Structure 1
Amino acid sequence: MSIGIPTPEPTPEDISRGLAELEQHLAGVVPASAPAPVEYDGMTRRVRQLRAEVAEAHLLADLQGDDAPLLLDTKRVRRRRKAAQEAARLHALGQDPAMRAWQAARMRRVLVVVALVSLTLALAWSTAGVQRFAADGAAPGTPAWLFAWLVEPFMSMALLVVVGARAYLGSHGAPLRSRTLVRIEWLFLGLTLGMNAWPYLPGVAESFSFSRLVLHLLGPVVAVAVVTALPIILAAFTRLDHTGSGIPPTGPPYSTNAMIRYPDEHGDGPDLTALTARARRLIAAGELPADPGADKIRRALRCGMNTARAVRDALSADHA
């Protein structure tokens, strides 16, 4: 085991000399640089926040004077404008003669169908009452009792033939006016009404009941109402004016009709001036061609052929 030699302790001079050598060494490796002086400009976070608020306020004040956002349509305004435009177009379409004629034809068809269905149900309602009258106390299941169920159907079918023919012809502008057919309708309806009411009349029924009498009269009464009202309704449809001119679309198509609608000052003939002016309005509206023939003028003005030729010559003079 070796014994170490103790090193002498450094003196203060040795420490000062070592520090000086160390400073010289560091000065040679890293050049000393003087730190830049710090200047305080006062831009704190509160100052920057307030400056941003002031700048924002100036921009908002400038933009508030612009009314451009107020001129823009909102979603609600656009919806209202769209609905208004649609309503205006539907109203204009509803004034079109073709649309009005189509609406009238559709409504007339619906009314005819409903009336015939109601008539059929009313006649079917009275079948039981007629069967009781026709069976005349026959036992159920016997031939007389079974054939009694056929009395009302064959009368109803005969009545529906007459009513259907009158309804169809009336809906096409050719109402069927025949006293014979009217008598046939009332004969069938009277028979149905009488056979339904007879077993329940006072003095005939074992125990009279007014409510039962009314109940069995309901079917024939509805049938009478439908048969009476349907021709009147269809005749009113044929007199509709789809053009808005105030002149019914049906009526006598010859010169006498024109004389009634367009009498001249002396009342002895059609007013050619008024007819020619009306023809010019129809041409301007597109309902007549620019150079219409006499037949087209006759159908449009519903006048006689001689009057139509005179109007055609007057129109031809306009192009001469």
Structure 2
Amino acid sequence: MSPTTPNPNPEPSPEDISRGLAEIERHLAQTAQPTPTAPADPRPVAGGQHADSLAGETRRVQRLRAEVAEAHMLAGLQDDDAPLLLDTDKVRKRRKKAHEAARLHELAHEPAMRAWQASRMRRVLVAAALVSLTLALGWSTAGVQSFAADGAQSWSPGWLFAWLVEPFMSLALLVVVGARAYLGTRGQPLSDPKLIRIEWLFLGLTLGMNAWPHLPWALPEGESFSVSRLVLHVLGPIVAVAVVTALPIILAAFTDLDHSGTGRLTGLTYSANAHDPVMVPSPEVVRLINRARALIATGDLPDAPSAYRLQRVLRCGMDDARAVRDALSHPTAD
């Protein structure tokens, strides 16, 4: 190598080696012993200090400091009444039920709803009455068969035909009662004396045939009279008599119901035009009105008779009876 050529890799001097070793030792010392730092806590503390100033505090002190900060926040929020103005789920359910009850109460007083309720109740009562009547007549079938068989041998022709006596009488009675019940629900009750006599004829025959074999003078020799046995056999006919008697009265009361809520008895046919000044009663109705007023004056009729009562007393049609009733309720209208 020429003495004039520079050395590309000069050897380090002892001073450079010493300085490099010192730098390495200082770096290793910093890496082995890092400076402890407190964890970041964004929560504010008293005196405006940041969470960085909590370095070196114990966990108990930090926990108490957090509770104090939370208490300060809650003290500032609890004066706000906004949450108290909101309805809870229970309050909303109760308000919904109260609104529904008020609406149902208002709906129950509407004329259409009152008429629908009366019609539904009338159908239920008529169905129950007819079922009760059918069961009562079926109850008396055995008693009638015993009377009609008159001691015939079991399964003989006379004994078998005796079972048909009560059914054909009951069917005939149900025809009359069913027709009166249906027409009564339509505002045209049947009060013909012939139909009433037919009803009582069938009921009397049923009652007599059930009771006769158990009366004291009809008992076989050696058999004692029993009131309980007699009552048990006449129970069915008595119930049938009660149903047949009560059903027309109930249906007549439904016919005279007032669905307007005014409390005045108003028929279904004339409730809409009872105050119509154009309606002029016919001479026949005027005669019936004068007769009804005379009966009221003598006490034979109440001051406000129903149409059914007027029909029975005056022996007129239901339309004329309603016209008389409306005329008596509004003296200025006639």
TM-score scaled by structure 2? Answer: 0.65
Corresponding residue of 1:217: 234
Corresponding residue of 2:247: 230
Equivalent of 1:55, from 55, 64, 69?
69
Q: State the distance in 2 between where 1:144 and 1:125 align.
A: 21
Tell me, what secondary structure is at the counterpart of 2:216? coil
**Share of identical aligned residues, percent?**
67
Q: State the distance in 1 between where 2:270 and 2:227 align.
A: 54
Contact 2:147 2:210 in 1 (8 A): yes
Q: How many residues of Structure 1 are paired with residues of Structure 2 in the alignment?
A: 244
Match status 1:76 vs 2:90: yes
How far does residue 248 in structure 1 lie from its aligned partner after superposition?
2.9
Q: Specify whether residues 38 and 215 from structure 1 end up closer, same or farther in structure 2 by C-alpha distance, changes over 3 A only.
A: closer
Tell me, what secondary structure is at the counterpart of 2:217? coil
Q: Specify whether residues 26 and 163 from structure 1 end up closer, same or farther in structure 2 by C-alpha distance, changes over 3 A only.
A: farther
Unaligned runs of 5+ in 2: 1-12, 39-52, 277-324, 328-332
Q: What do you get for the CA RMSD once the two structures are aligned? A: 3.5
Corresponding residue of 2:143: 129
AA aligned to 2:17 is H
Equivalent of 1:25, from 17, 26, 47?
17
Corresponding residue of 1:266: none
Corresponding residue of 1:293: none
How far does residue 22 in structure 1 lie from its aligned partner after superposition?
7.2
Contact 1:258 1:303 in 2 (8 A): no
Q: Specify whether residues 71 and 199 from structure 1 end up closer, same or farther in structure 2 by C-alpha distance, changes over 3 A only.
A: same
TM-score scaled by structure 1? Answer: 0.67
Q: State the distance in 1 between where 2:35 and 2:158 align.
A: 134
Corresponding residue of 2:80: 66
Matches within 5 A, 1:1-320: 25-28=17-20, 31=23, 43=55, 44-45=57-58, 46-206=60-220, 207=223, 208-250=225-267, 253=270
Q: Specify whether residues 50 and 104 from structure 1 end up closer, same or farther in structure 2 by C-alpha distance, changes over 3 A only.
A: same
Contact 1:171 1:234 in 2 (8 A): yes
AA aligned to 1:75 is D
AA aligned to 2:141 is T
How far does residue 80 in structure 1 lie from its aligned partner after superposition?
1.2
Q: State the distance in 2 between where 1:196 and 1:42 align.
A: 107
Tell me, what secondary structure is at the counterpart of 1:203? helix
Q: State the distance in 2 between where 1:196 and 1:83 align.
A: 56
Q: State the distance in 1 between where 2:182 and 2:120 align.
A: 14
How far does residue 29 in structure 1 lie from its aligned partner after superposition?
6.0
How far does residue 42 in structure 1 lie from its aligned partner after superposition?
7.0
AA aligned to 2:164 is L
Q: State the distance in 1 between where 2:67 and 2:160 align.
A: 102
How far does residue 38 in structure 1 lie from its aligned partner after superposition?
9.9
Q: Specify whether residues 258 and 86 from structure 1 end up closer, same or farther in structure 2 by C-alpha distance, changes over 3 A only.
A: closer
Unaligned runs of 5+ in 1: 1-20, 260-301, 305-309, 311-320
1:24-53 superposed Cα distances (whole Å, 9 cap, x missing partner): 524146646999999996741344333322
Contact 1:122 1:220 in 2 (8 A): yes
Contact 1:122 1:219 in 2 (8 A): yes
175-184 or 196-205, larger mean C-alpha shift: 175-184
How far does residue 23 in structure 1 lie from its aligned partner after superposition?
7.6
Contact 2:54 2:62 in 1 (8 A): no
Tell me, what secondary structure is at the counterpart of 1:141? coil
Q: State the distance in 2 between where 1:200 and 1:132 align.
A: 11
Q: Specify whether residues 80 and 23 from structure 1 end up closer, same or farther in structure 2 by C-alpha distance, changes over 3 A only.
A: farther
Contact 1:169 1:175 in 2 (8 A): yes
